[in-house]
Structure 1
Amino acid sequence: MLIKVFLFNYSFQRITSYRWLSKTHQPSLFEPKWASIFAEATTNSYLPSSSSSSVNNKKPFVMLFPPPNVTGTVHLGHALTTSVHDCLLRWHTMQQKSFARCVPGYDHAGIATQVIVEKHIAPQTREQLGREKFLEECYQWSSNYRQTIEAQLKRLCPLFDWSNAYFTMDKNLVEYVRDSFLHLYNDGLIYRDTRIVNWCCQLRSVVSDIEVDSKEINGREKFSIPGYSKHIELGILYNIAYKIIDEQQDKEIIVSTTRPETILADTGIAVHPNDSRYISLKNKFVQNPFNPQDRLPIIFDESVDQNFGTGAVKLTPGHDVFDYTLAMKHKLEIRTMLNDQGHVQLDLNHPFYHELNNLHRYDAREKVLQLLENKGLRRGEKEQQKMIIPLCSRTGDIIEPLVKEQWFLDTTEMCRQASSIVDNNTLKLTASSTRKVWKYWLDNSRPWCLSRQLWWGHSIPMYRCSINNKSSEYKWIGAKSLEEAKMKANELFPNVPSNSIHIEQDQDVLDTWFSSGLLPISIFNKKNSQEFPTTLLETGYDIMFFWVARMVMLSLKLTSQLPFHEVLFHGLICDPNGKKMSKSLG
Structure 2
Amino acid sequence: MEKLGTRYNPSDLEKKWYNYWLEKGYFKPKGKGDSFTIVIPPPNITGSIHMGHALNLTLQDILIRYKRMRGFNTLWVPGEDHAGIATQNAVERSLASKGINREELGREKFLEEVWDWVNTYRKRIVTQIKAIGASCDWSRERFTLDEGLSKAVRKAFVTLYKEGLIYRGKYIVNWCPRCKTVLSDEEVEHEDEKGAFYYIRYPLKDEESYVIIATTRPETMLADTAVAVHPSDERYKDLVGKTVILPLVGRELPVIADHYVDPSFGTGCLKVTPAHDPNDFQIGLRHKLDIVEVIDKDAKINENGGKYAGMDRYEARKAIVKDLEEQGYLEKIESMTHAVGKCYRCHTVVEPSLSDQWYVKIGPLAERAKKAVEDGEVVFFPERWKKVYLNWMNEIRDWCISRQLWWGHRIPVWYCNDCGEIIVEEDDPTSCPKCGSKSLRQDEDVLDTWFSSQLWPFTTLGWPGETEDLKTFYPTSVLVTGFDIIFFWVARMIMAGYHFTGEKPFSDVYIHQLVRDKHGRKMSKSLGNGIDPLDVIEEYGADPMRFTLSMLAAQGRDIKLDPRFFDTYKRFANKIWNASRFAIMNLDNYVPIELTEETLELEDRWILSRLQRTIEQVTDAMENYDFNIAAKAIYSFFWNEFCDWYIETVKPRLRENGMTKHVAQNVLVKVLDQSLRLLHPFMPFITEELWQKLPVGGEAIIISDWPAVDDSLINSPAEEEFGRIMSIVRGIRNVKAEMNIPPSTKVKIYYIGTELSKRSCNIISNLSNSHELEHKAEKVAGSATAYSDDNLHVYVELVEIDLEAELKRLEAKLAKEEKELERLEKKLANRNFVERAPEEVVEETKEKLKAAKSNCDRLKKIIDDLK
Task: Name the stretch that deviates more: 237-246 or 521-530.
Answer: 521-530
Bigger relative contact order, structure 1 or 2 (CA pairs below 8 A, ≥6 apart): 1
Partner secondary structure for residue 460 of structure 2: helix
Task: Tell me, in whole angstroms, the C-alpha distance in 1 between the residues paired with 2:511 and 2:501.
Answer: 24
Paired residue for 1:527, among 444, 451, 467?
Answer: 467
Task: Name the stretch that deviates more: 519-528 or 387-396.
Answer: 519-528
Alignment of structure 1 residues 75-154 onto 2, 5 Å: 75-96=50-71, 98-122=72-96, 123-154=99-130
Partner secondary structure for residue 406 of structure 1: strand
Quote the offset at 1:419 in angstroms.
Answer: 0.2
Q: 1:577 to 1:317 in 2, by over 3 A?
A: farther
Residue of structure 2 in register with 1:211 after alignment: 187
Partner secondary structure for residue 303 of structure 2: coil
* AA aligned opposite 1:185: Y
Q: Is the 8 A contact 1:573 1:581 kept in 2?
A: no
Q: 1:282 to 1:64 in 2, by over 3 A?
A: same
Residue of structure 2 in register with 1:236 after alignment: 196
Q: Is the 8 A contact 1:46 1:99 kept in 2?
A: no
* AA aligned opposite 2:514: L
* AA aligned opposite 1:505: Q
Residue 29 of structure 2 corresponds to residue 48 of structure 1: yes
Quote the offset at 1:20 in angstroms.
Answer: 4.7
Residue 122 of structure 2 corresponds to residue 164 of structure 1: no
Task: Name the stretch that deviates more: 558-567 or 327-336.
Answer: 327-336
Task: Name the stretch that deviates more: 305-314 or 547-556.
Answer: 305-314
Q: Is the 8 A contact 1:65 1:102 kept in 2?
A: yes
* AA aligned opposite 2:420: Y
CA displacement 1:532-561 (0-9 Å, x = unmatched):
111221111211121111111112111111
Q: Is the 8 A contact 2:184 2:399 kept in 1?
A: no
| TM-score, structure 2 as length reference | 0.57
Partner secondary structure for residue 35 of structure 1: helix
Aligned length: 515
Q: 1:407 to 1:458 in 2, by over 3 A?
A: same
Task: Tell me, in whole angstroms, the C-alpha distance in 1 between the residues paired with 2:430 and 2:199.
Answer: 54
Q: 1:77 to 1:40 in 2, by over 3 A?
A: same
Task: Tell me, in whole angstroms, the C-alpha distance in 2 between the residues paired with 1:301 and 1:186.
Answer: 36
Task: Tell me, in whole angstroms, the C-alpha distance in 2 between the residues paired with 1:443 and 1:531.
Answer: 31
* AA aligned opposite 2:26: S
Partner secondary structure for residue 150 of structure 2: helix
Paired residue for 2:333, among 381, 397, 400?
Answer: 381
| TM-score, structure 1 as length reference | 0.83
* AA aligned opposite 1:238: Y
* AA aligned opposite 1:279: K
Alignment of structure 1 residues 308-323 onto 2, 5 Å: 308-323=265-280
Paired residue for 1:62, among 37, 44, 61?
Answer: 37
Q: Which runs of 5+ in 1 are unaligned?
A: 1-17, 22-28, 222-234, 468-472
* AA aligned opposite 2:399: W
Q: 1:485 to 1:298 in 2, by over 3 A?
A: farther
Task: Tell me, in whole angstroms, the C-alpha distance in 1 between the residues paired with 2:69 and 2:14.
Answer: 19
Q: 1:19 to 1:429 in 2, by over 3 A?
A: closer
Q: 1:88 to 1:167 in 2, by over 3 A?
A: same
CA displacement 1:187-231 (0-9 Å, x = unmatched):
1111111111100011111012232111112xxx4xxxxxxxxxx
Task: Tell me, in whole angstroms, the C-alpha distance in 1 between the residues paired with 2:244 and 2:85.
Answer: 43
Partner secondary structure for residue 238 of structure 2: helix
Quote the offset at 1:146 in angstroms.
Answer: 1.0
Residue 340 of structure 2 corresponds to residue 340 of structure 1: no
Q: Is the 8 A contact 2:37 2:476 kept in 1?
A: yes
Q: Is the 8 A contact 2:75 2:473 kept in 1?
A: no
Partner secondary structure for residue 463 of structure 1: strand
* AA aligned opposite 1:101: L
Quote the offset at 1:100 in angstroms.
Answer: 1.1
Task: Tell me, in whole angstroms, the C-alpha distance in 2 between the residues paired with 1:291 and 1:41.
Answer: 73
Task: Tell me, in whole angstroms, the C-alpha distance in 1 between the residues paired with 2:477 and 2:314.
Answer: 52
Q: Which runs of 5+ in 2 are unaligned?
A: 531-867
Partner secondary structure for residue 515 of structure 2: coil
| Structure with greater Cα Rg | 2
Task: Tell me, in whole angstroms, the C-alpha distance in 2 between the residues paired with 1:515 and 1:570.
Answer: 23
Residue of structure 2 in register with 1:554 after alignment: 496
Quote the offset at 1:412 in angstroms.
Answer: 0.7
Residue 353 of structure 2 corresponds to residue 402 of structure 1: yes
Quote the offset at 1:392 in angstroms.
Answer: 0.9
Residue 260 of structure 2 corresponds to residue 285 of structure 1: no
Partner secondary structure for residue 388 of structure 1: strand
Quote the offset at 1:481 in angstroms.
Answer: 4.0
Task: Tell me, in whole angstroms, the C-alpha distance in 2 between the residues paired with 1:264 and 1:475.
Answer: 36
Quote the offset at 1:475 in angstroms.
Answer: 2.8
* AA aligned opposite 1:187: E
- Residue identity over aligned pairs, in percent, reads 37
CA displacement 1:415-437 (0-9 Å, x = unmatched):
01100111222222222211111
Quote the offset at 1:376 in angstroms.
Answer: 2.2
Higher strand share: 1
Paired residue for 1:419, among 370, 380, 396?
Answer: 370
Q: 1:272 to 1:145 in 2, by over 3 A?
A: same
Q: 1:461 to 1:111 in 2, by over 3 A?
A: same
